[in-house]
């Protein structure tokens, strides 16, 4: 099922405004990621690779260590709070047990005590569980419990709203995901503790005919399409080939009036036959939509996130089918499912928080007994590090861009060594600037280019010690990157 003509028309109008639509690409000073070929003319001895996020050695970063917590801890939401300048996380904690059989003989899951908690972190790695003083537990309020009626998992910050009293938004779902008919109510808050119900509720009413949405991610304000947006699992498998779960998108100018969800991501011939999509958390970065679609294998009931990207919010590319955050080994807390949140770009790194479990089906829960658990993990990537061109170990690889114009006085690269063992030697990167006829520009030729041996983010490119490229700003140029034993993530004129 393709996206609707309405969404495709909007995407086409947006795409005509993007640099890739013109013969000369005016990139200004925006960071350029190597995700697709819009900016690439040719490559030699290289190919793109997905770089899986590296899990923290401290995982799980949130685990059971309080008397009110059960063995099943799951993220409700996590953000970097711009006002408090720290990471905030809400998570649920539940006692899960397998108990008896239902009327058709299948194992039932019994949810015992369930609480909502909050945790804070300065660096996203080391977390504290503050004494919030909001909820009484065993006659004491010195705990990190949040009132149970604040289990607002459909949550986002909204810096687009100028009213500080409406800084945080949350949606509360009314109705079961297993039945037709569902509504969502909107709540706003200045601090994510005290909430005001919208006078226009319900803001989303799916009705008996439309059905229901499965797991939903409210993206908040979409700065690319200039609307509020939501991604959801298209439930009831409506408009989904072969009765598979798929990903839909709905839009709203004001969080009150919403479009009908349109299918935008479905399984294709490159997917295993049992592939379905459970959710698709998404963020916005340097003019891109970057998404972690949850891939659900219905045969072995495992869930892990892939990496998808889009320029228009409708047509997503899934060029890589391996997991961006791999499942753990058998027995690990994340050995069966990895429910990844949208990536958070902060402090020169990309934080990928996720809920991991070692069970999903009731039968697995019954088999594991007290060893069944869910906890919260972290995986990280360097800035821009989702996808890279990887250079060979011995020979030089090249990437040549199309003709572009830029603004700025300096060219910087983000790169890392491809191999750091087996005598690979240091990475080597040199850049030459060409004119529109592929002729080297005097002063910026390969012979004059200095070699970059360092790895990191925003490394200045130089030619015989000179980094100033301001004389070429606004003129047609091409970049030709020569590299060996290196991963190239991005470049930027600034």
Question: What local confidence, expressed as pLDDT, does residue 128 receive?
Answer: 98
Residues of the chain with CATH 2.60.120: 21-50+389-493
Give the pLDDT confidence score for residue 369 in this predicted structure: 86
The predicted-structure confidence for 261-272, as pLDDT tens digits, reads as follows: 898 999 999 999
Give the separation between CA 324 and CA 54, rounded to whole angstroms: 9
Question: Above pLDDT 90, what percent of the chain?
Answer: 72
Mean pLDDT confidence for 1-11: 54
Output the pLDDT for position 19.
41
Residues making up the chain, counted from first to last: 494
What's the fold here for domain 21-50+389-493? Jelly Rolls (2.60.120)
pLDDT at residue 165 above 80? yes
The kind and range of the H/E element at 209 are helix 207-210
Could you read off the pLDDT of 469-486 as tens digits, one per residue?
A: 999 999 999 999 999 999
User: Does the pLDDT of residue 9 top 80, yes or no?
Assistant: no
pLDDT band at 64 (very low <50, low <70, confident <90, very high): very high
Give yes or no for residue 239 having a pLDDT over 60: no
Question: What average pLDDT does range 291-302 have in this prediction?
Answer: 92
Residue 401 half-sphere exposure toward CB, CA atoms < 13 A:
28
Give me the mean pLDDT over the 356-383 stretch: 91
The predicted-structure confidence for 65-111, as pLDDT tens digits, reads as follows: 999 998 899 999 999 998 899 999 999 998 756 655 555 455 555 56
Q: Is the pLDDT of residue 12 over 80?
A: no
**Whether residue 16 has pLDDT greater than 50:** no
Q: pLDDT tens digits for 118-133?
A: 999 999 999 999 999 9
Tell me the CA distances in angstroms from 143 to 132, 451, 484, one per residue in order: 6, 55, 53
Architecture of domain 54-384: 5 Propeller (2.115)
Q: Which regions of the chain carry the CATH code 2.115.10.20?
A: 54-384
Say if residues 417 and 455 touch (Cβ distance below 8 Å).
yes
């Amino acid at each position: 099922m393709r996206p609707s003509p309405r969404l495709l028309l909007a995407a086409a109008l947006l795409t005509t405004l993007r640099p890739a639509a013109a013969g000369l690409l005016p990139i200004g000073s925006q960071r350029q990621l190597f995700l697709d070929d819009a900016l690439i003319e040719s490559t030699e001895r290289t190919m793109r690779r997905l770089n899986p996020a590296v899990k923290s050695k401290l995982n799980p970063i949130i685990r059971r260590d309080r008397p009110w917590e059960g063995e099943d801890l799951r993220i409700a939401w996590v953000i970097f709070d711009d006002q408090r300048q720290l990471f905030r996380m809400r998570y649920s904690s539940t006692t899960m047990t397998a108990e008896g059989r239902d009327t058709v003989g299948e194992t039932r899951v019994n949810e015992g005590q369930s609480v909502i908690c909050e945790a804070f972190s300065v660096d996203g790695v080391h977390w504290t569980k503050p004494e919030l003083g909001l909820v009484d537990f065993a006659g004491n309020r010195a705990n990190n419990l949040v009132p149970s009626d604040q289990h607002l998992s459909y949550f986002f910050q909204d810096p687009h709203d100028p009213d500080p009293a409406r800084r945080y938004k949350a949606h509360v779902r009314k109705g079961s995901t297993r039945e037709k008919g569902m509504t969502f109510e909107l709540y706003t808050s200045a601090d994510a503790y005290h909430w005001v119900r919208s006078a226009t509720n319900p803001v989303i009413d799916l009705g008996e005919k439309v059905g229901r949405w499965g797991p939903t991610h409210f993206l908040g304000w979409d700065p690319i399409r200039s609307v509020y947006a939501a991604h959801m699992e298209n439930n009831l498998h409506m408009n989904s080939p072969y009765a598979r779960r798929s990903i839909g998108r709905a839009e709203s100018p004001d969080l009150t009036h919403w479009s009908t969800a349109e299918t935008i991501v479905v399984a294709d011939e490159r997917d295993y036959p049992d592939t379905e999509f459970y959710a698709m958390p998404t963020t916005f970065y340097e003019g891109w939509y970057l998404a972690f679609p949850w891939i659900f294998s219905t045969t072995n009931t495992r869930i892990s996130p892939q990496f998808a990207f889009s320029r228009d919010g409708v047509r997503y590319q899934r060029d890589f089918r391996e997991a961006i955050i791999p499942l753990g080994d058998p027995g690990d807390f994340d050995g069966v499912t990895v429910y990844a949140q949208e990536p958070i770009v902060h402090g020169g790194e990309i934080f990928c928080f996720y809920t991991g479990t070692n069970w999903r089906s009731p039968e697995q829960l019954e088999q594991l007994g007290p060893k069944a658990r869910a906890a919260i993990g972290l995986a990280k990537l360097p800035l821009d590090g989702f996808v890279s061109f990887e250079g060979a170990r011995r020979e030089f690889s090249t990437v040549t861009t199309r003709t572009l114009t830029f603004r700025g006085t300096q060219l910087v690269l983000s790169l890392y060594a491809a191999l750091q063992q087996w005598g690979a030697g240091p990475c080597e990167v040199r850049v030459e600037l060409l004119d529109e006829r592929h002729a080297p520009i005097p002063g910026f030729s390969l012979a004059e280019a200095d070699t970059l041996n360092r790895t990191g983010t925003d490394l200045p490119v130089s030619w015989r010690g000179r980094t100033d490229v301001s004389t070429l700003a606004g003129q047609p140029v091409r970049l030709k990157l020569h590299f060996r034993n290196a991963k190239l993530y991005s470049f930027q004129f600034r």
